[in-house]
């Protein structure tokens, strides 16, 4: 896939979704104050960037009365259910039995048929595949489907317009749909940096190995970044665009989430704070004069945990 696929997704989606805003700020890091631009993608319909991909996939597919099925840790399911409601089609979402209650509740509110199975995304995916075959439904993938990645890439097109220049873009990585989309859609002179929990190094391990490999899933951000293997599309895009990976601790992720709430009253989930964790902790040090873009990708969380 290439930028033309992302541009086609943008034309297909049109004005059905929000053009999420950018907030310029200065954050306190271990190396001192750093100017950043936050892409407030958690304000998207469905509470995360993933609705972009789901809606693009539905608009580009022949979905009939049998509807769609997707496996999800929560956010992809919420996105699919949101997009399905927009299009007036049924949506079944298979989530692990340990999925956060707030995300499961959101799925029910959206009218999704929620099936809880297994304790991991991989187990939920196997169940979703069988369910899609049984029902004759279109099966969406949380991150490794061209239409899903192209839809996510519309975020990159927006960033080129909202934050022009050569500043780096920091993106949290789970299965890699968002970072692959942004890297494909954004100007070629900008570097895109993946940020991952140390306990789920899907991209980091794949880059070191030269191809995708299974990793353990052990992080506080597992409900949104809990893929055990980077997607094939993301791996291909990472190799083509020179994407790099930074690992951060769970403690740094918790601190970043808390920082966003205390200083900006921004409430995101742990995955949504992961990219900022790299800046605050000093794992990512901007170049002189650089204002990195930090994508706050999701906010499907229980406010009581803040």
Handedness of CA 218, 219, 223, 225 (dihedral sign): negative
Looking at per-residue confidence, does 298 or 304 come out higher?
Answer: 298
The structural domains of the chain, with segments of one domain joined by +, span 3-48+146-305, 50-140
According to the model, what pLDDT value does residue 304 have?
A: 74
pLDDT category of residue 73 using cuts at 50, 70 and 90: confident
pLDDT category of residue 66 using cuts at 50, 70 and 90: confident
Please state the rounded mean pLDDT for residues 256-270.
97
Is the predicted pLDDT of residue 102 greater than 90, yes or no?
no
According to the model, what pLDDT value does residue 16 have?
A: 97
Is the predicted pLDDT of residue 305 greater than 90, yes or no?
no
- Asked if 270 and 220 touch (Cβ cutoff 8 Å), the reply is yes
Picking from 194-198, 205-209, 299-303, which range would have the lowest pLDDT averaged per residue? Answer: 299-303
The architecture CATH gives domain 50-140: 3-Layer(aba) Sandwich (3.40)
Is the predicted pLDDT of residue 83 greater than 90, yes or no?
yes
Q: What's the fold here for domain 3-48+146-305?
A: Rossmann fold (3.40.50)
Mean pLDDT of the chain: 94
Counting residues of the chain whose pLDDT is more than 90, the rounded percentage is 86
According to the model, what pLDDT value does residue 17 have?
A: 98
- Asked if 170 and 294 touch (Cβ cutoff 8 Å), the reply is yes
pTM of the model: 0.94
- Classify residue 49 as exposed, middle or buried by CB count within 10 Å of its CB (0-12, 13-18, 19+): buried
Write out the H or E segment, with its range, that includes residue 69. strand 68-71
Counting residues of the chain whose pLDDT is more than 70, the rounded percentage is 100
Is the predicted pLDDT of residue 166 greater than 90, yes or no?
no
Neighbours of 65 (CB within 10 A): 8
pLDDT category of residue 280 using cuts at 50, 70 and 90: very high
According to the model, what pLDDT value does residue 250 have?
A: 98
Is the predicted pLDDT of residue 122 greater than 90, yes or no?
no
- For 110, phi then psi, to 5°, come to -80, -5
Please state the rounded mean pLDDT for residues 99-110.
89
């Amino acid at each position: 896939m290439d930028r033309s696929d992302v541009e086609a997704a943008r034309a297909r989606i049109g004005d059905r979704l929000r053009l999420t805003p950018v907030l310029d700020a200065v954050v306190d890091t271990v190396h001192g104050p750093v100017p950043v631009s936050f892409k407030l993608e958690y304000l998207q319909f469905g509470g995360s960037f993933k609705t972009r991909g789901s809606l693009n996939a539905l608009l580009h597919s022949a979905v009939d009365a049998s509807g769609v099925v997707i496996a999800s840790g929560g956010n992809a399911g919420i996105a699919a259910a949101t997009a399905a409601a927009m299009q007036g089609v049924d949506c079944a979402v298979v989530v692990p039995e340990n999925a956060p209650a707030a995300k499961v509740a959101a799925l029910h509110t959206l009218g999704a048929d929620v099936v809880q199975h297994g304790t991991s995304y991989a187990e939920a995916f196997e169940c979703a595949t069988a369910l899609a075959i049984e029902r004759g439904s279109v099966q969406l993938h949380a991150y490794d489907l061209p239409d899903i990645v192209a839809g996510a890439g519309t975020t990159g097109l927006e960033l080129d317009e909202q934050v022009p220049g050569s500043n780096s873009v920091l993106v949290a990585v789970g299965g890699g749909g968002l970072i692959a989309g942004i890297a494909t859609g954004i100007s070629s002179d900008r570097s895109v940096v993946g940020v991952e929990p140390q306990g789920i190094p899907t991209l980091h391990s794949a880059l070191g190995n030269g191809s995708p490999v299974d990793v353990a899933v052990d992080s506080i951000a597992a409900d949104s970044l809990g893929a055990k293997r980077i997607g094939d599309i993301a791996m291909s895009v990472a190799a083509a665009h020179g994407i790099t990976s930074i690992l951060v601790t769970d403690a740094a992720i918790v601190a970043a989430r808390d920082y966003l709430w205390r200083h900006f009253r921004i409430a995101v989930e742990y995955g949504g704070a992961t990219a900022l964790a790299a800046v605050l902790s000093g794992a990512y040090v901007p170049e002189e004069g650089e204002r990195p873009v930090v994508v706050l990708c999701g906010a499907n969380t229980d406010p009581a945990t803040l």
